[in-house]
């Protein structure tokens, strides 16, 4: 567990440091955030046509209310934490890649729910928006990361690699 | 925690049930919960930023840094004081409480105490980094120039602020919870 913890901290620091570089911001974070805004707007437009997007900003054409998806709200940091947790935990690369693929979809999927919900909460009540934005959704996204990781850990074979004693018939067949 | 196929879903439901309660308790007890953070800030500011910070005050959940810096502008008098809301860096506390209570593991009061002790320095980091970021980068050149921070130090402050704002508040409680529930993890893997 100590090895896991140290690896987790090192990988996370490395990825987070990399994310903050101008290169990563220009070529990954900003395009990703813009895509997130477009996807969110597209989903909202299925039921509410009075929404437009400009870059990373989602705006209501009815009342002018807008949200800008900033660092911490684009799911990149949550994905980094999940990535670090899966890479640090002992598992085969096949299982890590499968876990990451499913995990990123789960984290980013909930993040889209966060963006859309905040867009409407903000139009309804500024105080509730502040609470939801600054505290509640931050905690829920990290809870999502933790749950995805726990489910992934549950899918891994037991630490001994065999899942318990091998039945005699199987042992004989493989001999 | 019972080892059944519905282990994780039931755990999630219990966390979601505890979260609103934990958030309410956290919000109303924040002045008390954040008092140790003020003590940490006092010590760190005295030892590391004595030439910059005269005193750290706490009112509710808000920390006020009384600085030695003079406001910019012709004829400006007095000294700069900056406020940082501790709630913005301590919302991991209710998450941790909900996780621990939902796990229903023995020794949960001790775990709550240990997790809280682990989170206090992380909260102090966030608050201090927020203050430093504001004086070094957001207060304008007349104030920032008085701090004497080099370009490299400003980069370190920016990184520390981002790390303290985006990573620490939620990762510390999650990691603390995982480290305190290793038996649960092993049981999860054994069920695979």
Q: Kindly report, residue by residue over A100-137, the tens digit of the pLDDT.
A: 999 999 999 999 999 999 999 999 999 999 999 999 99
Q: What pLDDT score does A126 carry?
A: 94
Chain A nearest CA to B151, separation (Å): 15
Confidence tier at A54 by pLDDT (50, 70, 90): very high
Q: How far apart are CA B150 and CA B131, in angstroms?
A: 17
Q: What pLDDT score does B4 carry?
A: 55
**Cα A97 off chain centre by:** 15
Q: Answer whether A142 touches B (CB < 8 Å).
A: yes
Per the CB < 8 Å rule, is A72 touching B8?
A: no
Confidence tier at A57 by pLDDT (50, 70, 90): very high
Q: Answer whether A155 touches B (CB < 8 Å).
A: yes
Q: How far apart are CA A170 and CA A150, in angstroms?
A: 30
Confidence tier at B77 by pLDDT (50, 70, 90): confident
Confidence tier at A66 by pLDDT (50, 70, 90): very high
Residue of B109, B10, B128, B111 lying closest to B63 (CA atoms): B128
Note the residue count of chain B: 192
If you measure CA to CA, which chain B residue comes closest to A145? B174
Among candidates B11, B19, B179 on the partner chain, residue whose Cβ is nearest the Cβ of A139: B19
For residue B191, which residues of chain A lie inside 8 Å, CB to CB?
154
Residue of B12, B53, B26, B48 lying closest to B123 (CA atoms): B26
Per the CB < 8 Å rule, is A142 touching B159?
A: no
Per the CB < 8 Å rule, is A150 touching B188?
A: yes
Q: What pLDDT score does B187 carry?
A: 79
Q: Answer whether A157 touches B (CB < 8 Å).
A: yes
Per the CB < 8 Å rule, is A154 touching B177?
A: no
Per the CB < 8 Å rule, is B189 touching A143?
A: no
Question: A135 and B87 in contact (C-beta within 8 Å)?
Answer: yes
DSSP strand E in A64-135: where?
66-68
Residues 6+ apart with CB under 8 A from B113: none
Residues forming a β-bridge with A51: A60
pLDDT digits (tens, 9 = 90+) for B165-185: 989 999 999 999 999 998 888
Probe site for chain B from A139, A141, A143, A152 (most B CB atoms < 10 A): A139
Per the CB < 8 Å rule, is B189 touching A159?
A: yes
Q: What is the ipTM of this complex?
A: 0.87
Q: What pLDDT score does B191 carry?
A: 67
Asked if the model's pLDDT at residue A159 lies above 90, the reply is: no
Residues 6+ apart with CB under 8 A from B126: B88, B89, B164, B165, B168, B169
Per the CB < 8 Å rule, is B162 touching A153?
A: no
Asked if the model's pLDDT at residue A164 lies above 80, the reply is: no
Per the CB < 8 Å rule, is B87 touching A145?
A: no
Asked if the model's pLDDT at residue B74 lies above 60, the reply is: no
pLDDT digits (tens, 9 = 90+) for A24-50: 999 999 999 999 999 999 999 999 999
Per the CB < 8 Å rule, is A71 touching B15?
A: no
| Phi-psi region at A160: left, alpha or beta (left = phi > 0; alpha = psi -120 to 50) | alpha
Q: pTM value?
A: 0.88
For residue A151, which residues of chain B lie inside 8 Å, CB to CB?
8
């Amino acid at each position: 567990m100590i090895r896991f913890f140290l690896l987790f901290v090192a990988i996370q620091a490395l990825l987070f440091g990399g994310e903050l570089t101008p290169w990563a911001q220009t070529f990954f974070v900003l395009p990703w955030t813009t895509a997130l805004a477009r996807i969110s707007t597209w989903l909202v437009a299925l039921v509410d046509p009075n929404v437009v997007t400009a870059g990373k900003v989602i705006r209501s054409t009815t009342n002018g209310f807008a949200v800008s998806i900033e660092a911490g709200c684009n799911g990149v940091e949550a994905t980094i934490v999940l990535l670090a947790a899966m890479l640090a935990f002992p598992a085969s690369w096949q299982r890590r890649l499968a876990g990451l693929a499913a995990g990123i979809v789960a984290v980013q999927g909930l993040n889209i729910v966060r963006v859309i919900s905040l867009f409407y909460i903000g139009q309804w009540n500024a105080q509730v928006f502040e609470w939801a934005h600054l505290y509640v959704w931050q905690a829920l996204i990290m809870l999502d990361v933790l749950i995805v990781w726990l489910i992934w850990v549950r899918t891994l074979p037991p630490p001994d690699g065999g899942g318990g004693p091998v039945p005699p018939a199987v042992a004989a067949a493989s001999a | 925690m019972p080892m059944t196929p519905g282990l994780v879903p039931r755990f999630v439901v219990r966390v979601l049930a505890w979260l609103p309660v934990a958030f309410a308790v956290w919000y109303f007890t924040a002045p008390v919960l954040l008092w140790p953070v003020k003590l940490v800030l006092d010590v760190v500011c005295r030892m590391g930023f004595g030439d910059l910070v005269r005193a750290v005050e706490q009112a509710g959940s808000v920390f006020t840094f009384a600085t030695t810096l003079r406001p910019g502008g012709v004829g400006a008098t007095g000294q700069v004081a900056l406020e940082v809301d501790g709630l913005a860096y301590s919302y991991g506390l209710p998450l941790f409480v909900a996780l621990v209570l939902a796990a229903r593991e023995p020794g949960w009061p001790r775990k709550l105490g240990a997790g809280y002790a682990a989170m206090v320095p992380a909260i102090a980091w966030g608050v201090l980094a927020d203050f430093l970021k504001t004086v070094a980068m957001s207060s304008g050149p007349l104030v920032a120039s008085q701090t004497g921070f080099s370009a490299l130090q400003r980069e370190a402050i920016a990184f520390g602020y981002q790390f303290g704002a985006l990573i620490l508040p939620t990762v510390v409680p999650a990691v603390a919870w995982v480290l305190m529930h290793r038996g649960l993890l092993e049981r999860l893997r054994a069920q695979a």
